[in-house]
Amino acid sequence: MKLLVTGGTGYIGSHTVVELLQEGHQVTIIDNLSNSKVMVLDRIEQITNIRPEFHKCDILDTDKLNDICSQNSYDAVIHFAGLKAVGESTEIPLEYYHNNVAGTVNLCRVLQKHNIKNFIFSSSATVYGFNQDVPFKEDYPRSATNPYGQSKLMIEHILEDLQKSDPDWNIVLLRYFNPVGAHASGLIGEDPNGIPNNLMPFISQVAVGKRDQLNVFGNNYPTPDGTGVRDYIHVVDLAIGHLKALDQIEKNCGLKVYNLGCGKGYSVLEVIKAFEKTTGITIPYKIVDRRPGDIATSFADASLAQKELSWQAEKDIDAMCKDAWKWQKENPGGYV
């Protein structure tokens, strides 16, 4: 298929582009490079021997999007572009609503004009809000606890309304749980700006000596060891989930929603142990207060994706740690 991938130089986007190219799809990436580097394209080329077409373009830039869509007839769009830091979203909510919500509306308006109506959206387990009834199923009530989550929820509603208004649209909402790890080549991976917000990149930076110790946010949650439990999923498994979603799109699926997770939760202390075991490096840590907004436990019921997409995560926590570490060790400064 001929695919337009927004946010394709980012963490999940770049891994997905690799899988798409290796499956024989033709890919055009658009990204404004606000949270990624153009060097990612060299790395994608190193892995696949194919250099995807790239346009530095903001999804809010209607004219440029129109130009790009006029030059090619895309079969489908995979929409990763967005701001994603939960804490930052509470400080600059307008930026999050403008970029994520207005950006997606703008993108869809352009696509509609060009009759491109096959769309995969990066949603998040964050739309399950403070729900305590794990595992989370796709039909659970949704809520948001911060502007980032709210932007994902709003976009889900907007896309649902769009598909209802015009059944020619095929839209798949993919709710990612906790993507971690990197491509096994060590050539692409997660390259956070500044101090990492997320657990795995923080652990990797402690391991490589960039940070002294990990702060574990709370050990008094109602979980087996008191630390937060999450459903970590290898980014390559997640990427493959998008290829399966494209198969659904080709069947004129209408609107579909799938959790992409392993269906299994690991606590913070279990992740530290797994990382230490696979790398042989000790991770010093300190228990500190809970992080505001965190929930105790989140993991997916991933059975719908297994049933309808024939997809399930294959890589275990050891592979996630091993690949995260290879990327970190071989690229201590990220893409430089």
List residues binding ligand NAD (CB under 6 A).
Answer: 6-7, 9-13, 31-36, 58-60, 80-84, 99, 103, 122, 124, 176, 179
Nearest residue (CB) to ligand NAD, 36 versus 259: 36
Nearest residue (CB) to ligand NAD, 153 versus 226: 153
**Site for ligand UFG contains 69 (CB under 6 A):** no
Q: Which does 86 bind (CB under 5 to 8 A by kind): ligand NAD, ligand UFG, none?
A: ligand UFG
- CA 305 distance to own-chain centroid: 16
Task: Kindly tell me the number of DSSP H helices and DSSP E strands found in the chain.
Answer: 12, 13
Please list the residues that pair with 180 across neighbouring strands: 234
Would you say 129 and 149 are in contact if contact means Cβ atoms under 8 Å apart? yes
Near ligand UFG in 199-218, by CB under 6 A: 199, 202, 214-217
Stretch that binds ligand UFG, among 57-65, 91-99, 164-172, 192-200 (CB under 6 A): 192-200
CB of 260 to ligand UFG, least distance (A): 10
**221 in catalytic set:** no
Near ligand UFG in 294-333, by CB under 6 A: 294
Query: From the CB of residue 28, how many other CB atoms can be counted at a distance below 10 Å?
Result: 22
Q: What is the C-alpha separation between 245 and 300, in angstroms, rounded?
A: 17
Near ligand UFG in 226-245, by CB under 6 A: 228, 230
**Site for ligand UFG contains 81 (CB under 6 A):** no
Largest CA distance in the chain: 56
Query: From the CB of residue 139, how many other CB atoms can be counted at a distance below 10 Å?
Result: 9
Would you say 266 and 229 are in contact if contact means Cβ atoms under 8 Å apart? yes
CB of 49 to ligand NAD, least distance (A): 22
CB of 122 to ligand NAD, least distance (A): 3
Helices (H), the chain: 11-22, 40-48, 62-71, 86-91, 93-96, 103-113, 147-165, 199-207, 235-250, 268-279, 303-309, 317-330
Near ligand UFG in 129-168, by CB under 6 A: none
Write out the residues near ligand UFG by the rule CB under 6 A.
84, 86, 124-126, 176-178, 197-199, 202, 214-217, 228, 230, 268, 291, 294
Could you give the residue numbers annotated as active site? 148
